[in-house]
Structure 1
């Protein structure tokens, strides 16, 4: 039988962390982070990393497994998460993935094959020479012309991913988007996707308030510590919550400007998360408000009990 896996998804600040703990308590589960940034040590406040108190004794995985200067790909995430799913299931416990990194969660649960397209050293060498001669923005603009969907997902400074996307196109004739669309549609697991959604205006208010709260609890000090370690160009510092403050530390923006940029980027990210999950996955959606959250969570637990019985 295929292993059951619960995936709790939705936009930032909607309540996924709290629900995941409630589900784990109700169904003898253990939790795997579905946030691509929470793997980094020291990136705690800006990633809204769960605290020990919030865990309520539930084991959590894929948190604090990388140093801030390490690279971390969706393929890396896939391998590790599938190992944890097997390990958790072998202990007769229920694997629960909770987070908002849509491609990472989908790749892990639908077993995307990232290795069957081997690298072409000659093509890679030419692209790296182009990078050295013309800069990363030139390569990213080329990708934007070929595959705008993929270019929108990759930061111009993430040269490794830009080169990989261009390499696949040059060696196969397929864009990375088309390559991913060819992946298997059937999961090797029995995934149940539980999605949390909220009125957009209310969600944006929560996001803005969350940013203010993060700043009160030391987000600026956290980013400054990483910046002073020379990590500005590392993958970890390109995440939302960190990159927005670099212009402030360089004296190019005021703190107010940097904070407003973070709020704007967080709201836009939430919108992209909605779009991804609505278009890519078969999700059981639940709308929540602060007043109805307890009632809605009880309904989700009741519904999950029925879904799991039918597997």
Structure 2
């Protein structure tokens, strides 16, 4: 018997995914499964806009606070954990609701995504070359051999650039070739995917307000605490938007105004990449969100399409 589909709520940062996912869980007897690559880290709360216990309104949330900030990203392990979470939620007779804006994590959870192996010697050599040549030079090397992968990886993200170059060297194929085309044909897990999108100006205003709110809620103190737990040594967590800028502030490389401004601009760049990533999936049911919309407004708009698609899949 084919298991019931997962409901996924995706979209860019600041579109309101988390609150809508909670409302859908309440309406459809669901449980949330996190697909935000930074909310998997313990203690990264304010800077990732992780919902508080009160904001979760009693809805169970899975795959939050998995790893210490010193640990590198582990997408293959996340994939295994996500699918276990889906099975556990279904076993309770409930609907798994995947929610997040990290495109690779969403695809790892839902799609037939297989991860090429690694070679510590090759990885170490490429990392040494990156240490000597710099991030931009390595990113340019990747652009030459795999333009699609380079377009999806920030020039400053040395870890992902090195990983992509490692895969190219080990397999003789572009790193991007390991990703199947997005869409229902690539699904390993039956899923209904709903995307939230907002007007660009609305998103930009929400980002600025979000960064102000994070500062007011104690982002700097949170980063100071996590720095004491080894944040600066974490190859993934230390590069998270907001955290990287506050680390520069604490190190005296930026003043507070510069750190806040750079957090806003980095978040805007992140949003553009998220829009491109999710926009490439032809099977996302997009729901437009207005500037004054409440969660109740969005639920009224999203729920009929979700139920129609869920019923259609269950009737196959």
TM-score, with length taken from structure 2: 0.89
User: What does the per-residue CA deviation read over 1:25-52, in whole Å, with 9 as the maximum and x for residues that have no partner?
Assistant: 1111100011000011111000000110
CA distance in 1, matches of 2:100, 2:248: 28
Alignment of 1:49-198 (within 5 A): 49-114=50-115, 117-120=116-119, 123-124=122-123, 126-127=125-126, 130-131=129-130, 138-154=137-153, 160-181=159-180, 185-198=185-198
CA distance in 2, matches of 1:269, 1:125: 28
Residue 257 of structure 1 is matched in structure 2 by 258
Alignment of 1:38-53 (within 5 A): 38-53=39-54
Matching of residue 303 in structure 1 with residue 302 in structure 2 = no
User: What secondary structure does 2:231 align onto?
Assistant: coil
Q: Which runs of 5+ in 1 are unaligned?
A: none
Question: Given the superposition, is the C-alpha separation of residues 183 and 199 from structure 1 closer, same or farther in structure 2, using an over 3 Å criterion?
Answer: closer
Residue 218 of structure 2 is matched in structure 1 by 218
CA distance in 1, matches of 2:114, 2:128: 28
CA distance in 1, matches of 2:220, 2:37: 21
Measure how far apart 1:214 and its partner are. Answer: 0.8
Is residue 39–residue 50 contact of structure 2 (8 Å, CA) maintained in 1? yes
Residue 277 of structure 2 is matched in structure 1 by 276
* Runs (4+) off by over 6 Å: none
User: What does the per-residue CA deviation read over 1:128-158, in whole Å, with 9 as the maximum and x for residues that have no partner?
Assistant: 5545665666544422332244245446676
Query: Once structures 1 and 2 are overlaid, which stretch shifts more, 258-267 or 161-170?
Result: 161-170
Matching of residue 206 in structure 1 with residue 206 in structure 2 = yes
Is residue 31–residue 98 contact of structure 1 (8 Å, CA) maintained in 2? yes
Q: CA RMSD in A?
A: 2.4
Give the aligned length.
Answer: 309
Is residue 146–residue 175 contact of structure 1 (8 Å, CA) maintained in 2? yes
Is residue 8–residue 193 contact of structure 1 (8 Å, CA) maintained in 2? yes
User: What does the per-residue CA deviation read over 1:199-226, in whole Å, with 9 as the maximum and x for residues that have no partner?
Assistant: 1101110110011011011011111222
CA distance in 2, matches of 1:21, 1:112: 27
Q: Which runs of 5+ in 2 are unaligned?
A: none
Is residue 111–residue 187 contact of structure 1 (8 Å, CA) maintained in 2? yes
Is residue 3–residue 190 contact of structure 1 (8 Å, CA) maintained in 2? yes
Is residue 10–residue 273 contact of structure 1 (8 Å, CA) maintained in 2? yes
Query: Once structures 1 and 2 are overlaid, which stretch shifts more, 48-57 or 140-149?
Result: 140-149
Query: Once structures 1 and 2 are overlaid, which stretch shifts more, 227-236 or 187-196?
Result: 227-236
CA distance in 2, matches of 1:181, 1:111: 7
User: What does the per-residue CA deviation read over 1:148-200, in whole Å, with 9 as the maximum and x for residues that have no partner?
Assistant: 44245446676554333222212322111122247994313221111111111
Query: Once structures 1 and 2 are overlaid, which stretch shifts more, 214-223 or 232-241?
Result: 232-241
Is residue 11–residue 273 contact of structure 1 (8 Å, CA) maintained in 2? yes
Question: Given the superposition, is the C-alpha separation of residues 91 and 279 from structure 1 closer, same or farther in structure 2, using an over 3 Å criterion?
Answer: same
Question: Given the superposition, is the C-alpha separation of residues 125 and 249 from structure 1 closer, same or farther in structure 2, using an over 3 Å criterion?
Answer: closer
Is residue 78–residue 111 contact of structure 1 (8 Å, CA) maintained in 2? no
